[in-house]
Chains A and B, each alone.
Chain A
Amino acid sequence: MDVSMINTYLLMVTLAAMIVNFVLSLYGVFFKPHYIKKIIALSMLSDTANTIALYIGYRKWVNGTPPTIPVITNRSIEGIYDVVRRSVDPLPPALVLTAVVIGLATTLFLVYLGYVLYTHYKTLDMREIRRLKG
């Protein structure tokens, strides 16, 4: 068994763990009865999706050196070409940055919505709220 197969196996372990995390958070969003637990599962879902997006932007090592962050430290032409040769994809971090802010805004709004639900029904259990019929 050579080294590249072990590397691929470890990467696949990471990916499988992320997919299991994805499925568990979906289960929490759909089947957990409590509102706060639904919000926690939803934030887990968005974080897992962001991690998968960052994973897709990763690349293999170049000449035995790990890939670098997409920041130009040597401002000459050779430095820029070195960054282009060794950097990871800069587009997924930019998209994830937007997604994090939007996810934060929606989570904040859902928390306040839960506050209104609680003042109205005196409970956050979704089964109880469904039984009370609006």
Chain B
Amino acid sequence: MRAVEIVVLISIILGFALLLTLGYQYLVPADDIRALAKFYLLTTYFNPNYTYTAGATETVTAIVWDYRGLDTLFETTVFYIALAGCLILARGLYKEEKEASKPGSGLSVIVRGVTKITAPMIIVVGVSIALHGHLTPGGGFQGGATMAVLPLLIIVIFSLAPLIRRGFTPSRLAIIRGFALIGIGLVSIILALIGLVLGINAYVFQSLPKPDAPLGFPSEVEGALMGGILWFFNLFESIAVVAAFTIAFIAILLIESRG
């Protein structure tokens, strides 16, 4: 056993030395960024007719959902599969729902009042972060994570009962999450399907019209930037993330109440 640990430690040290050898020119920041980064920054929002661009002013969201869109789609799938695995491991907990939702438990009046005041603000900030994801730093995941603070606060401060009483059961949240994931899938393939029906050239994950593919999502609506496909992805991703976090919080609390 001891020999195995020593071998693991030595290989970690040697591997870290290899990483430092390969990346030593990046340890002190350079005067200029790499050519790939310059390409992303230049083509994110470049010319008036939006050919070969993402049409968004926020480069990170454009990279996440447009340039590397399939990667992010599979990342969302990994999150969904992990959550499904968690719910399978925690099966048999739903019988405890009625027992766990005792009314009258919770914290003091001051904490409850402040939570009631800040609840709409949290939702507004989360929606703003999610739907401005193509204009300002943020995006669907960040906005959804911000909004998921509210169910956590409600669970900690008011107990689980108000959430369950308003219909936010884990099974219903899983259905909401499924609809949001179906929305992500449909947005990513709908233009390819329309192109298949009409006989026009179109791609999966096509955001804006390209010279060889005339179909595309709108880049501007009434003068406001839409970022093509990015707005729809941010909307559905925030719904999916807030539902997923709420399911996880409720399931962890049910484990705790069961002992």
Asked if A108 and B33 make an inter-chain contact with CB atoms under 8 angstroms apart, the answer reads no
Q: List 18 A-B contacts (CB under 8 A).
A: A11-B28, A15-B27, A19-B16, A57-B33, A58-B29, A59-B31, A59-B33, A69-B137, A71-B57, A71-B135, A80-B45, A84-B42, A91-B37, A94-B63, A98-B71, A101-B78, A105-B78, A112-B85
- Kindly list chain B residues whose C-beta atoms are within 8 Å of the C-beta of A112: 85-86, 89-90, 251
A72 within 8 A of B: yes
> In B81-133, which residues have CB < 8 Å from any A CB?
81-83, 85-86, 89-90
B40 interfacial contact with A, CB 8 Å: yes
A73 within 8 A of B: yes
A residues less than 8 Å from B63 (CB atoms): 90-91, 94
Residue B196 at the chain A interface, CB threshold 8 Å: no
Residues of A within 8 A of B (CB): 8, 11-12, 15, 19, 22, 26, 30-31, 56-60, 69-73, 75, 80, 83-84, 87-91, 93-94, 97-98, 101-102, 104-106, 108-109, 111-113, 115-116
**B37 is contacted by which of A19, A71, A90, A109 (Cβ under 8 Å)?**
A90
Knowing A72-B57, A98-B72, A111-B252, the reply to whether A84 touches B38 (Cβ < 8 A) is yes
Q: How far is the CA of A109 from the CA of B251 in the complex (A)?
A: 12
The 4 closest A-B CB pairs, nearest first, are A105-B82, A70-B59, A90-B59, A94-B63
A3 CA to B67 CA, complexed, in Å: 39
User: Looking at chain B's contact residues, is the secondary structure mostly helix, strand, loop, or mixed?
Assistant: helix
Q: B197 at the A/B interface (Cβ < 8 Å)? A: no
Question: B139: nearest residue on chain A (CB-CB)?
Answer: A97
Residues of A near B139 (CB, < 8 A) are 97
- Could you tell me if A30 and B33 are in contact, using CB atoms closer than 8 angstroms? no
Tell me the minimal C-beta distance from A64 to chain B in angstroms: 13
Q: In the bound complex, do residue A70 and residue B41 qualify as a contact, i.e. CB atoms below 8 Å apart? A: yes
Contacts A90-B60, A93-B60; is A59 near B79 (CB within 8 Å)?
no
A26 in contact with B12 (CB, 8 Å): yes
Residues of B within 8 A of A70 (CB): 40-41, 58-60
Q: How far is the CB of A104 from chain B (nearest CB, A)?
A: 7
Task: Specify which chain A residues have a CB less than 8 angstroms from the CB of B83 in the assembled complex.
Answer: 105, 108
* Residues on the B chain within 8 Å of A97, using CB: 60, 64, 139, 141
- A60, B31: Cβ atoms under 8 Å? yes
Separation of A119 and B118 alpha carbons in the complex (Å): 38
- In the assembled complex, how far is the CB of residue A1 from the closest CB belonging to chain B, in whole angstroms? 16
Q: Complex: how many Å from CA A94 to CA B69?
A: 11
- Contacts A98-B64, A105-B79; A90 near B41 (Cβ below 8 A): yes
Please give, as numbers and ranges, the residues of chain A lying within 8 Å of B44 by CB-CB distance.
72
Minimum Cβ distance to chain B for residue A38 (Å): 15
